[in-house]
């Protein structure tokens, strides 16, 4: 019945998603403030049409939060769906094969910024809700909280959650903002990494200098920064910040074995990324390196002359944006402080250092023995014909830990993307099949969850 409803209405579902994808809701770019709002308003309308009792555009000092609910019967379990309607900036634009905000289907995949992360996945929930309403099959109370600042660190969600605990009361949080292993191997994410993100500024002389007149005698901040960054990994691929690993939980041999049971093909992995070899912390597999080990990476580095041709200059300043992915039980505030102290301590006297924390979040693991996890697992089994494999993902959704802390709620991470969907990259896409199967799996989840 659900399947038939989805089949009948799939073209309209896709058309509606396309409309949402056409709105360039780039939360990081203030020029798109109006567009971010438009995307929120679009969801408000669609939730309304789908039949919620109540829907609100909740203002924050930043981008608004969409809240909606359908209370069928207060004695039934309540599911709180979280997602985000904001997207990453689309640049570099010239690498897109079709414009990022003009969605098209190629090879049965929807190409557009946000198609997978996270508009496409959010929209599955709106349409799953519509289907349940139309089929008179809604077996749970539903709440939606869709935010517009996830890609910039969910700055104002914290206060919203703290101030609306009663409104957000639920039995479980359901999020589709992660990936499955492949269409042949469905999986459920059971853990996400945390994040500590900083910007560093290295200042040398008080102005850009002639690199011939002063070069060799005055510290070059770009040279200094490069060396400092290079020194932050040792020969084993480990981060050299003292204390960085102190709180890292070392998994048991059995848990590591379980993680490595997930299908993974190193040759495909390398080929898909166009690399001849992989690199990472010694003693760990690729799945462990991204799932259960912390990292330090430069996300961007700049300074000096980067324009056309050559300009002989010894720059006054150099900058980098550095992220550290964290695992249980690392604490992002502590790690930011360890980084800051260490980074300052290894700088030569010839430069001045400024470290600015940008944002962060706690790592989160989700239980696999809960009623909700079992319902999600059963839903996958029913729709995909295969038991989903539990996986630990490398990305971060910091609000998972926030929900646990503030609302006491566990999360089920029922995402349907693929690692190869190019989220945050040019040519982001999302499989039409993932979208449609996702809707069906979500509806099936409610059936199992209400039964339990």
Contact residues toward ligand BES (CB under 6 A) are 117-118, 150-151, 153, 177-179, 192, 195, 359, 361, 393, 395-398
Name the minimum Å distance from CB 102 to ligand BES: 22
Among residues 16, 35, 130, 177, the one that binds Mn ion under rule CB under 5 A: 177
DSSP letter for 283, please.
Answer: T
- Quote the CA–CA distance of 390 and 388 in Å, as a whole number: 6
Residue at shortest CB range from ligand BES: 395
179 binds, options Mn ion, ligand BES, none, Cβ within 5 to 8 A by partner type: ligand BES
The set of residues, in sequence order, having a beta carbon less than 8 Å from that of 415 and lying 6+ positions away, is: 121, 175, 176, 177, 178, 179, 180, 189
- Mask: binding to Mn ion, 70-89, rule CB under 5 A, as x and -? --------------------
Q: Binding partner of residue 222 among Mn ion, ligand BES, none, CB under 5 to 8 Å per kind?
A: none
CB of 189 to Mn ion, least distance (A): 12
Give whichever of 171 and 419 is closer to ligand BES, judged by the CB atom: 419
CB of 29 to Mn ion, least distance (A): 15
**Which position has the token pair 């490398």?**
394
For the bound state, the minimum distance from the C-beta of residue 242 to ligand BES, rounded and expressed in Å, comes to: 25
Among the residue ranges 71-79, 108-116, 172-180, 240-248, the one whose residues contact Mn ion (CB under 5 A): 172-180
C-beta closer to ligand BES: residue 393 or 440: 393
195 touches which of ligand BES, Mn ion, none (CB within 5 to 8 A by kind)? ligand BES
- Measure the CA–CA gap between 128 and 50, rounded to whole angstroms: 9
Cα 412 to the center of its chain, rounded Å: 15
Q: In the numeric block, which tokens belong to residue 328?
A: 């249980």
Other beta carbons within 10 angstroms of residue 243's beta carbon come to 12
The minimum distance between CB 393 and ligand BES, in angstroms, equals: 4
**Quick one: 117 or 149, whose CB is closer to Mn ion?**
117
Question: What string marks each residue from 102 to 141 as x (binds Mn ion by CB under 5 A) or -?
Answer: ---------------xx-----------------------
Does 16 help bind Mn ion (rule: CB under 5 A)?
no
For residue 78 the two structure tokens come to 């309540």
Query: In angstroms, what CA-CA distances link 343 with 194, 314, 339?
Result: 20, 22, 6
Question: What are phi and psi for residue 9, nearest 5 degrees?
Answer: -105, 10
Give CA angle at 93 (91, 98), nearest 5°.
130
Query: Residue 358: exposed, middle, or buried by beta-carbon count in 10 A (0-12, 13-18, 19+)?
Result: middle
Q: Which does 191 bind (CB under 5 to 8 A by kind): ligand BES, Mn ion, none?
A: none
Q: Do residues 240 and 232 lie in contact, with contact meaning Cβ atoms separated by under 8 Å?
A: yes
Please, which residue, 5 or 430, has the CB nearer to ligand BES? 430
% helix / strand / coil in the chain, to the nearest 5? 35, 25, 40
* Closer residue to ligand BES (CB): 143 or 193: 193
Contact 115, 90 (CB under 8 A): no
If contact means CB under 5 to 8 A according to the sort of partner, which of Mn ion, ligand BES, none does residue 361 touch? ligand BES
Query: Which of Mn ion, ligand BES, none does 178 bind, CB closer than 5 to 8 A by kind?
Result: ligand BES
- Look at residues 302, 280, 304 and name the one whose alpha carbon lies nearest to residue 292: 280
- The residue (of 71 and 183) whose beta carbon lies closer to ligand BES is 183
Q: Judged by CB, which is closer to ligand BES: 130, or 428?
A: 428
Helical ranges in 1-86 per DSSP H: 2-21, 33-50
> In this complex, which beta carbon is closest to ligand BES, that of residue 324 or of residue 347?
324
Partner from ligand BES, Mn ion, none binding residue 86, C-beta < 5-8 Å depending on class: none
> Token pair for residue 104?
């098209």
β-pairing, 78-84 vs 141-147, is: parallel
Are 126 and 133 contacting, i.e. CB atoms less than 8 angstroms apart? Answer: no
Contacts with Mn ion, residue ranges (CB under 5 A): 117-118, 177
């Amino acid at each position: 019945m659900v399947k038939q409803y989805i089949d009948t209405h799939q073209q309209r579902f896709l058309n509606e998603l396309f409309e949402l994808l056409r709105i360039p809701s780039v939360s990081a770019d203030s020029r798109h403030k109006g567009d971010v709002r438009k995307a929120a308003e679009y969801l408000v309308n669609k939730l309304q049409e789908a039949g919620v009792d109540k829907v609100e555009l909740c203002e924050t000092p930043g981008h608004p939060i969409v809240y909606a609910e359908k209370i069928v019967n207060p004695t039934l379990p309540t599911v709180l769906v979280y997602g985000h309607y904001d997207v990453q900036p689309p640049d570099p634009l010239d690498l897109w094969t079709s414009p990022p905000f003009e969605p098209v289907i190629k090879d049965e995949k929807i190409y557009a910024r946000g198609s997978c992360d996270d508009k496409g996945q959010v929209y599955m929930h709106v349409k799953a809700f519509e289907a349940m309403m139309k089929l008179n099959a809604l077996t749970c109370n539903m709440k939606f909280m869709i935010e517009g600042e996830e890609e910039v660190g969910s700055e104002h969600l914290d206060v919203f959650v703290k101030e609306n605990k009663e409104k957000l009361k639920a039995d479980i949080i359901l999020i589709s903002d992660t990936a499955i292993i492949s269409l042949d191997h469905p999986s459920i994410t059971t853990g996400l990494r945390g994040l500590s993100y900083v910007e560093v500024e290295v200042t040398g002389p008080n102005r850009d200098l002639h690199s011939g007149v002063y070069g060799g005698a005055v510290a070059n901040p770009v040279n200094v920064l490069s060396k400092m960054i290079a020194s932050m990994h040792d020969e084993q691929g480990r981060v050299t910040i003292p204390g960085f690993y102190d709180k890292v939980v070392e998994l048991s041999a059995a848990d590591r074995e379980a993680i490595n049971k997930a299908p993974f093909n190193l040759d495909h992995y390398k080929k898909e990324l166009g690399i001849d070899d992989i690199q990472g912390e010694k003693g760990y597999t690729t799945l462990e390196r991204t799932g259960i080990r912390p990292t330090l990476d430069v996300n961007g580095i700049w300074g000096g002359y980067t324009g056309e041709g050559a300009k002989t200059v010894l720059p006054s300043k150099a900058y980098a944006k550095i992220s550290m992915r964290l695992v249980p039980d690392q604490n992002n505030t502590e790690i930011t402080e360890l980084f800051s102290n260490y980074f300052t301590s290894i700088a030569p006297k010839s430069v001045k250092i400024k470290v600015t924390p940008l944002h962060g979040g706690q790592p989160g693991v989700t239980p696999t023995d809960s009623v909700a996890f079992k319902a999600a697992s059963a839903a996958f089994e029913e729709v995909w014909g295969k038991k989903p494999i539990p996986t630990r993902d490398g990305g971060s959704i910091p609000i998972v830990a926030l929900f646990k802390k503030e609302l006491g709620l566990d999360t089920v991470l029922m995402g349907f993307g693929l690692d190869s969907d190019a989220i945050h990259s040019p040519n982001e896409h999302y499989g039409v099949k993932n979208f449609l199967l996702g809707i069906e799996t979500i509806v099936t989840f409610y059936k199992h969850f209400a039964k339990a």
